[in-house]
Protein backbone atom coordinates (compact mmCIF):
# COMPACT_ATOMS: atom_id res chain seq x y z
CA UNK A 1 0.00 0.00 0.00
CA UNK A 2 2.97 2.34 0.54
CA UNK A 3 3.79 2.28 -3.17
CA UNK A 4 0.16 3.06 -4.08
CA UNK A 5 0.11 5.95 -1.61
CA UNK A 6 3.35 7.41 -2.94
CA UNK A 7 2.00 7.31 -6.48
CA UNK A 8 -1.42 8.72 -5.62
CA UNK A 9 -0.57 12.36 -6.50
CA UNK A 10 0.39 11.22 -10.02
CA UNK A 11 -2.86 9.25 -10.28
CA UNK A 12 -4.92 12.28 -9.21
CA UNK A 13 -3.08 14.52 -11.68
CA UNK A 14 -3.93 12.18 -14.55
CA UNK A 15 -7.57 11.95 -13.41
CA UNK A 16 -7.83 15.75 -13.36
CA UNK A 17 -6.44 15.91 -16.88
CA UNK A 18 -9.10 13.45 -18.11
CA UNK A 19 -11.90 15.35 -16.37
CA UNK A 20 -10.70 18.62 -17.92
CA UNK A 21 -10.93 17.09 -21.39
CA UNK A 22 -14.48 15.87 -20.72
CA UNK A 23 -15.51 19.25 -19.28
CA UNK A 24 -14.44 20.95 -22.51
CA UNK A 25 -16.80 18.67 -24.43
CA UNK A 26 -19.76 19.45 -22.16
CA UNK A 27 -19.12 23.14 -21.43
CA UNK A 28 -22.27 25.10 -22.29
CA UNK A 29 -23.71 22.29 -24.41
CA UNK A 30 -25.92 20.45 -21.95
CA UNK A 31 -26.04 16.64 -22.15
CA UNK A 32 -23.62 15.27 -24.72
CA UNK A 33 -22.83 11.78 -26.04
CA UNK A 34 -19.21 10.78 -25.50
CA UNK A 35 -17.35 7.53 -26.11
CA UNK A 36 -15.40 7.51 -22.84
CA UNK A 37 -13.27 4.47 -23.71
CA UNK A 38 -10.45 6.45 -25.43
CA UNK A 39 -10.30 8.86 -22.47
CA UNK A 40 -10.10 6.09 -19.87
CA UNK A 41 -7.62 4.11 -21.97
CA UNK A 42 -5.46 7.24 -22.26
CA UNK A 43 -5.79 7.87 -18.51
CA UNK A 44 -4.43 4.41 -17.68
CA UNK A 45 -1.46 4.87 -20.01
CA UNK A 46 -0.84 8.36 -18.63
CA UNK A 47 -0.79 7.09 -15.02
CA UNK A 48 1.66 4.32 -15.91
CA UNK A 49 3.87 6.75 -17.82
CA UNK A 50 4.06 8.94 -14.70
CA UNK A 51 4.39 6.17 -12.11
CA UNK A 52 6.54 3.71 -14.05
CA UNK A 53 9.05 6.13 -15.55
CA UNK A 54 8.80 9.27 -13.41
CA UNK A 55 10.99 12.01 -14.84
CA UNK A 56 11.11 10.08 -18.13
CA UNK A 57 7.36 10.65 -18.55
CA UNK A 58 7.47 11.59 -22.23
CA UNK A 59 9.55 8.54 -23.09
CA UNK A 60 7.12 6.47 -21.01
CA UNK A 61 4.19 7.73 -23.09
CA UNK A 62 6.04 6.78 -26.26
CA UNK A 63 6.68 3.29 -24.87
CA UNK A 64 3.01 2.76 -24.14
CA UNK A 65 1.97 4.02 -27.58
CA UNK A 66 4.36 1.56 -29.19
CA UNK A 67 3.25 -1.29 -26.94
CA UNK A 68 -0.38 -0.62 -27.83
CA UNK A 69 0.51 -0.83 -31.50
CA UNK A 70 2.44 -4.06 -30.83
CA UNK A 71 -0.64 -5.64 -29.29
CA UNK A 72 -2.73 -4.65 -32.31
CA UNK A 73 -0.12 -6.12 -34.65
CA UNK A 74 0.08 -9.32 -32.60
CA UNK A 75 -3.71 -9.65 -32.81
CA UNK A 76 -3.57 -9.20 -36.59
CA UNK A 77 -1.08 -12.07 -36.75
CA UNK A 78 -3.28 -14.28 -34.57
CA UNK A 79 -6.24 -13.71 -36.89
CA UNK A 80 -4.25 -14.66 -39.99
CA UNK A 81 -3.92 -18.18 -41.36
CA UNK A 82 -1.29 -19.94 -39.23
CA UNK A 83 1.90 -21.00 -40.96
CA UNK A 84 4.83 -22.68 -39.17
CA UNK A 85 7.49 -20.01 -38.70
CA UNK A 86 5.03 -17.36 -39.93
CA UNK A 87 6.43 -14.68 -37.64
CA UNK A 88 9.72 -14.80 -39.59
CA UNK A 89 8.06 -14.10 -42.94
CA UNK A 90 8.80 -10.46 -43.87
CA UNK A 91 5.17 -9.35 -44.10
CA UNK A 92 4.20 -5.72 -43.54
CA UNK A 93 2.88 -6.59 -40.06
CA UNK A 94 6.02 -8.54 -39.08
CA UNK A 95 8.36 -5.81 -40.33
CA UNK A 96 6.45 -3.13 -38.41
CA UNK A 97 6.46 -5.32 -35.28
CA UNK A 98 10.24 -5.69 -35.47
CA UNK A 99 10.74 -1.95 -36.08
CA UNK A 100 8.63 -1.14 -33.02
CA UNK A 101 10.47 -3.71 -30.92
CA UNK A 102 13.83 -2.18 -31.81
CA UNK A 103 12.57 1.30 -30.97
CA UNK A 104 11.11 0.10 -27.67
CA UNK A 105 14.40 -1.50 -26.64
CA UNK A 106 16.33 1.63 -27.61
CA UNK A 107 14.07 3.92 -25.53
CA UNK A 108 14.09 1.62 -22.51
CA UNK A 109 17.84 1.11 -22.63
CA UNK A 110 18.32 4.89 -22.71
CA UNK A 111 16.04 5.38 -19.67
CA UNK A 112 17.77 2.57 -17.74
CA UNK A 113 21.22 3.95 -18.50
CA UNK A 114 20.14 7.43 -17.35
CA UNK A 115 18.92 6.01 -14.04
CA UNK A 116 22.14 4.03 -13.59
CA UNK A 117 24.16 7.16 -14.31
CA UNK A 118 22.11 9.06 -11.72
CA UNK A 119 23.07 6.63 -8.96
CA UNK A 120 26.68 6.63 -10.08
CA UNK A 121 26.83 10.43 -9.72
CA UNK A 122 25.13 10.35 -6.33
CA UNK A 123 21.74 11.68 -7.44
CA UNK A 124 20.00 8.66 -5.94
CA UNK A 125 17.17 6.45 -7.18
CA UNK A 126 13.83 7.80 -8.24
CA UNK A 127 10.77 6.22 -6.61
CA UNK A 128 9.04 5.30 -9.88
CA UNK A 129 8.44 1.62 -10.69
CA UNK A 130 11.46 1.27 -12.95
CA UNK A 131 13.72 2.93 -10.39
CA UNK A 132 12.43 0.66 -7.63
CA UNK A 133 13.00 -2.40 -9.82
CA UNK A 134 16.57 -1.35 -10.60
CA UNK A 135 17.24 -0.69 -6.94
CA UNK A 136 15.91 -4.12 -5.98
CA UNK A 137 17.97 -5.73 -8.73
CA UNK A 138 21.16 -4.03 -7.56
CA UNK A 139 20.50 -5.28 -4.02
CA UNK A 140 20.04 -8.85 -5.32
CA UNK A 141 23.34 -8.64 -7.20
CA UNK A 142 25.20 -7.26 -4.16
CA UNK A 143 23.76 -9.89 -1.79
CA UNK A 144 23.56 -13.00 -3.99
CA UNK A 145 25.78 -12.18 -6.96
CA UNK A 146 22.90 -12.71 -9.41
CA UNK A 147 20.19 -10.48 -10.77
CA UNK A 148 18.29 -9.61 -13.90
CA UNK A 149 20.19 -8.97 -17.11
CA UNK A 150 19.67 -5.82 -19.19
CA UNK A 151 17.46 -7.80 -21.57
CA UNK A 152 15.30 -9.04 -18.69
CA UNK A 153 14.94 -5.51 -17.30
CA UNK A 154 13.92 -4.25 -20.74
CA UNK A 155 11.33 -7.01 -21.06
CA UNK A 156 9.94 -6.15 -17.61
CA UNK A 157 9.70 -2.51 -18.67
CA UNK A 158 7.70 -3.53 -21.74
CA UNK A 159 5.38 -5.64 -19.57
CA UNK A 160 4.51 -2.62 -17.43
CA UNK A 161 2.12 -1.62 -20.20
CA UNK A 162 0.12 -4.85 -20.44
CA UNK A 163 0.27 -5.53 -16.71
CA UNK A 164 -0.45 -2.01 -15.54
CA UNK A 165 -2.21 -0.06 -18.25
CA UNK A 166 -4.34 -2.42 -20.34
CA UNK A 167 -5.74 -4.31 -17.36
CA UNK A 168 -6.48 -1.18 -15.32
CA UNK A 169 -8.20 0.56 -18.23
CA UNK A 170 -10.38 -2.54 -18.66
CA UNK A 171 -11.34 -2.49 -14.97
CA UNK A 172 -12.22 1.21 -15.12
CA UNK A 173 -14.25 1.13 -18.34
CA UNK A 174 -16.46 -1.74 -17.17
CA UNK A 175 -16.98 -0.05 -13.80
CA UNK A 176 -18.15 3.08 -15.65
CA UNK A 177 -20.34 0.94 -17.90
CA UNK A 178 -21.99 -0.66 -14.86
CA UNK A 179 -22.58 2.74 -13.25
CA UNK A 180 -24.07 4.08 -16.48
CA UNK A 181 -26.41 1.10 -16.69
CA UNK A 182 -27.41 1.01 -13.02
CA UNK A 183 -28.42 4.54 -12.02
CA UNK A 184 -29.36 3.51 -8.47
CA UNK A 185 -25.80 2.40 -7.75
CA UNK A 186 -24.39 5.49 -9.44
CA UNK A 187 -26.49 7.62 -7.09
CA UNK A 188 -25.34 5.66 -4.02
CA UNK A 189 -21.70 5.88 -5.08
CA UNK A 190 -21.92 9.66 -5.71
CA UNK A 191 -23.46 10.25 -2.30
CA UNK A 192 -20.59 8.32 -0.70
CA UNK A 193 -17.92 10.18 -2.69
CA UNK A 194 -19.41 13.58 -1.79
CA UNK A 195 -19.67 12.55 1.86
CA UNK A 196 -15.98 11.56 1.96
CA UNK A 197 -14.41 14.21 -0.30
CA UNK A 198 -17.12 16.77 -1.05
CA UNK A 199 -16.15 18.55 -4.25
CA UNK A 200 -12.55 18.97 -3.08
CA UNK A 201 -9.36 17.23 -4.21
CA UNK A 202 -9.06 13.55 -3.38
CA UNK A 203 -6.71 12.32 -0.66
CA UNK A 204 -5.35 8.82 -0.25
CA UNK A 205 -6.72 8.25 3.26
CA UNK A 206 -10.23 8.83 1.98
CA UNK A 207 -10.09 5.80 -0.32
CA UNK A 208 -10.53 3.37 2.55
CA UNK A 209 -13.90 4.98 3.33
CA UNK A 210 -15.30 4.30 -0.16
CA UNK A 211 -17.09 1.08 0.77
CA UNK A 212 -19.84 1.34 -1.87
CA UNK A 213 -17.36 2.26 -4.61
CA UNK A 214 -15.23 -0.75 -3.64
CA UNK A 215 -18.28 -3.04 -3.80
CA UNK A 216 -19.07 -1.72 -7.29
CA UNK A 217 -15.49 -2.20 -8.49
CA UNK A 218 -15.40 -5.76 -7.14
CA UNK A 219 -18.66 -6.61 -8.90
CA UNK A 220 -17.34 -5.11 -12.15
CA UNK A 221 -14.17 -7.20 -11.71
CA UNK A 222 -16.30 -10.30 -11.13
CA UNK A 223 -18.43 -9.87 -14.24
CA UNK A 224 -15.72 -8.39 -16.48
CA UNK A 225 -12.28 -9.50 -15.24
CA UNK A 226 -9.52 -7.56 -17.06
CA UNK A 227 -7.76 -10.84 -17.90
CA UNK A 228 -10.27 -13.55 -18.81
CA UNK A 229 -7.88 -16.48 -18.31
CA UNK A 230 -4.57 -17.19 -16.57
CA UNK A 231 -2.21 -20.12 -17.07
CA UNK A 232 -0.34 -21.79 -14.24
CA UNK A 233 2.06 -24.75 -14.35
CA UNK A 234 2.93 -27.39 -11.78
CA UNK A 235 6.65 -27.60 -11.03
CA UNK A 236 6.24 -30.73 -8.91
CA UNK A 237 3.61 -33.39 -8.32
CA UNK A 238 0.58 -31.54 -7.04
CA UNK A 239 -2.67 -32.66 -5.44
CA UNK A 240 -5.69 -30.59 -6.44
CA UNK A 241 -8.90 -31.82 -4.84
CA UNK A 242 -9.27 -35.46 -5.86
CA UNK A 243 -6.73 -35.14 -8.67
CA UNK A 244 -2.99 -35.69 -8.56
CA UNK A 245 -1.07 -33.97 -11.35
CA UNK A 246 2.55 -34.60 -12.29
CA UNK A 247 5.07 -31.81 -12.74
CA UNK A 248 4.93 -29.86 -15.97
CA UNK A 249 1.14 -29.69 -16.35
CA UNK A 250 -0.33 -26.39 -17.59
CA UNK A 251 -3.59 -25.40 -15.90
CA UNK A 252 -5.98 -22.87 -17.45
CA UNK A 253 -7.83 -20.69 -14.94
CA UNK A 254 -10.83 -19.14 -16.73
CA UNK A 255 -11.73 -16.24 -14.41
CA UNK A 256 -14.69 -15.11 -16.48
CA UNK A 257 -16.36 -18.54 -16.25
CA UNK A 258 -15.60 -19.22 -12.59
CA UNK A 259 -16.75 -15.76 -11.51
CA UNK A 260 -20.08 -16.18 -13.34
CA UNK A 261 -20.74 -19.77 -12.20
CA UNK A 262 -24.22 -20.13 -10.66
CA UNK A 263 -23.07 -23.04 -8.49
CA UNK A 264 -20.56 -20.72 -6.83
CA UNK A 265 -22.36 -17.39 -6.84
CA UNK A 266 -26.05 -18.32 -6.89
CA UNK A 267 -28.81 -18.04 -9.46
CA UNK A 268 -28.16 -14.28 -9.75
CA UNK A 269 -24.55 -14.87 -10.85
CA UNK A 270 -25.05 -13.00 -14.15
CA UNK A 271 -26.69 -10.01 -12.48
CA UNK A 272 -24.92 -6.84 -11.32
CA UNK A 273 -25.36 -6.96 -7.55
CA UNK A 274 -22.55 -5.14 -5.69
CA UNK A 275 -24.32 -5.85 -2.39
CA UNK A 276 -22.94 -9.40 -2.58
CA UNK A 277 -19.59 -7.81 -1.51
CA UNK A 278 -21.10 -5.83 1.39
CA UNK A 279 -19.34 -8.04 3.95
CA UNK A 280 -16.13 -8.37 1.97
CA UNK A 281 -14.84 -10.76 -0.68
CA UNK A 282 -14.71 -13.82 1.60
CA UNK A 283 -18.50 -13.71 2.19
CA UNK A 284 -19.57 -12.91 -1.38
CA UNK A 285 -19.99 -16.53 -2.55
CA UNK A 286 -22.28 -19.24 -1.26
CA UNK A 287 -20.05 -19.98 1.73
CA UNK A 288 -17.10 -20.99 -0.50
CA UNK A 289 -14.69 -18.25 0.55
CA UNK A 290 -12.63 -15.88 -1.59
CA UNK A 291 -10.99 -18.49 -3.85
CA UNK A 292 -13.77 -18.12 -6.45
CA UNK A 293 -12.91 -14.45 -6.96
CA UNK A 294 -9.47 -13.97 -8.49
CA UNK A 295 -9.41 -11.11 -11.05
CA UNK A 296 -5.81 -10.41 -10.01
CA UNK A 297 -5.09 -14.16 -9.71
CA UNK A 298 -3.87 -15.23 -6.26
CA UNK A 299 -1.25 -16.94 -4.17
CA UNK A 300 2.46 -16.09 -4.43
CA UNK A 301 2.01 -14.93 -8.06
CA UNK A 302 -0.84 -12.52 -7.34
CA UNK A 303 -0.63 -9.30 -9.38
CA UNK A 304 1.81 -6.97 -7.63
CA UNK A 305 -0.03 -3.96 -9.06
CA UNK A 306 -3.37 -4.85 -7.45
CA UNK A 307 -3.30 -2.04 -4.87
CA UNK A 308 -2.23 0.56 -7.42
CA UNK A 309 -4.92 -0.56 -9.88
CA UNK A 310 -7.66 -0.35 -7.25
CA UNK A 311 -6.44 3.05 -6.04
CA UNK A 312 -6.45 4.33 -9.62
CA UNK A 313 -9.93 2.95 -10.31
CA UNK A 314 -11.34 4.47 -7.11
CA UNK A 315 -9.77 7.83 -7.93
CA UNK A 316 -11.15 7.81 -11.48
CA UNK A 317 -14.67 6.84 -10.36
CA UNK A 318 -14.64 9.42 -7.56
CA UNK A 319 -13.49 12.33 -9.74
CA UNK A 320 -15.96 11.38 -12.48
CA UNK A 321 -18.87 11.21 -10.03
CA UNK A 322 -17.90 14.57 -8.52
CA UNK A 323 -18.27 16.30 -11.90
CA UNK A 324 -20.78 14.32 -13.96
CA UNK A 325 -23.90 12.23 -13.97
CA UNK A 326 -24.16 9.82 -16.87
CA UNK A 327 -26.13 7.03 -18.49
CA UNK A 328 -25.54 4.59 -21.32
CA UNK A 329 -26.33 6.03 -24.74
CA UNK A 330 -28.92 4.26 -26.94
CA UNK A 331 -26.10 3.91 -29.51
CA UNK A 332 -24.04 1.70 -27.17
CA UNK A 333 -23.38 -1.86 -28.40
CA UNK A 334 -22.37 -4.33 -25.71
CA UNK A 335 -19.12 -5.82 -26.98
CA UNK A 336 -16.62 -7.22 -24.45
CA UNK A 337 -13.80 -8.41 -26.70
CA UNK A 338 -11.53 -11.02 -25.12
CA UNK A 339 -8.01 -10.68 -26.49
CA UNK A 340 -5.04 -10.18 -24.15
CA UNK A 341 -7.40 -8.24 -21.89
CA UNK A 342 -11.16 -7.48 -22.11
CA UNK A 343 -11.71 -4.11 -23.84
CA UNK A 344 -15.05 -2.96 -25.30
CA UNK A 345 -14.76 -3.61 -29.04
CA UNK A 346 -17.00 -0.69 -30.03
CA UNK A 347 -16.32 1.65 -27.11
CA UNK A 348 -18.66 2.78 -24.33
CA UNK A 349 -20.91 5.66 -25.33
CA UNK A 350 -22.37 7.66 -22.43
CA UNK A 351 -24.71 10.63 -22.17
CA UNK A 352 -22.70 12.99 -19.92
CA UNK A 353 -24.24 15.80 -17.85
CA UNK A 354 -22.24 18.24 -15.77
CA UNK A 355 -23.32 18.47 -12.15
Residue 186: name the closest of 268, 272, 276, 267 by CA: 272
Cβ atoms 175, 220 nearer than 8 A: yes
CA dist list (Å): 342 to 45, 303, 347, 349: 16, 17, 12, 17
231 forms bridges with which residues in the sheet? 252
Minimum mean pLDDT range among 41-55, 168-182, 209-223 = 41-55
Secondary structure (H, E, C), 66-114: HHHHHHHHHHHHHHCCCCCCHHHCCCHHHHHHHHHHHHHHHHHHHHHHH
Start-to-end CA distance of the chain, whole Å, equals: 32
Report the C-alpha gap between 107 and 190 in whole angstroms: 41
Confidence grade of residue 229 (pLDDT, cut at 50, 70, 90): confident
Q: Cβ distance 14 to 323 under 8 Å? A: no
* C-alpha separations of 54 from 58, 76, 89, 253, 278 in Å: 9, 32, 38, 34, 37
Q: How confident is the model at residue 124 (pLDDT cuts 50, 70, 90)?
A: low
- Whole-model pTM: value is 0.84
H/E run at residue 13? helix 2-26
- Residue 35 clears pLDDT 80, i.e. is over it: yes
Q: Which pLDDT belongs to residue 328?
A: 97
Q: Which candidate, 73, 50, 100, places its Cα nearest to that of 340?
A: 73
Nearest to 172 by CA among 15, 327, 285, 279: 15
Torsion of CA 193, 195, 201, 206, to 10 degrees: -80
Structural domain spans, the chain: 2-223+306-354
> Does residue 195 have a pLDDT over 50?
yes
The rounded distance, in Å, linking the Cα atoms of 295 and 302 is: 9
Count of residues in the chain: 355
Q: 104-125 as b/e, with b when 16 or more CB fall inside 10 Å?
A: bbebbeebbeebeebeeeeeeb
What are the pLDDT digits (tens) for 154-192? 887 777 666 678 889 999 999 999 999 999 999 999 999
Quick one: DSSP state of residue 145?
S
The answer, yes or no, to whether residue 2 has pLDDT greater than 50, is: no
305 or 354, greater pLDDT? 354
Q: Is the distance from CB of 274 to CB of 211 less than 8 angstroms?
A: no
**The CATH number, out of the four listed (1.10.10.10, 3.40.50.980, 1.20.58.110, 1.10.630.10), of the domain defined by the range 2-223+306-354:** 1.10.630.10
More confident residue, 123 or 36: 36
Report CA-CA distances (Å) from 178 to 207, 218, 270, 331, 348.
Answer: 20, 11, 13, 16, 11
Of 103-107, 273-277, 297-301, which range is least confident? 297-301
Calculate mean pLDDT across residues 275-283.
92
The CB-based long-range contact list for 242-249 (8 Å cut-off, 24+ gap) reads none
HSE toward the beta carbon, residue 213, CA cutoff 13 A: 29
Amino acid sequence: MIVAQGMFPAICSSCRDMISKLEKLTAGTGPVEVDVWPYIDSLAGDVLARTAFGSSYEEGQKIFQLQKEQMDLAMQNLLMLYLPGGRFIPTKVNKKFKENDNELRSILMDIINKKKKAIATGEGWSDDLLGLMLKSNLKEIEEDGVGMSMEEIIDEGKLFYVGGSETTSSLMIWAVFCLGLHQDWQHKAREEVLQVFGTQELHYEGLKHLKIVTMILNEALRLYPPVVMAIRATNKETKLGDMTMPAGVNIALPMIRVQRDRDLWGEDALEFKPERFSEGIAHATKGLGSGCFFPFTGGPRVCIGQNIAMAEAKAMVATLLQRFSFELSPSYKHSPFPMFTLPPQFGVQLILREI
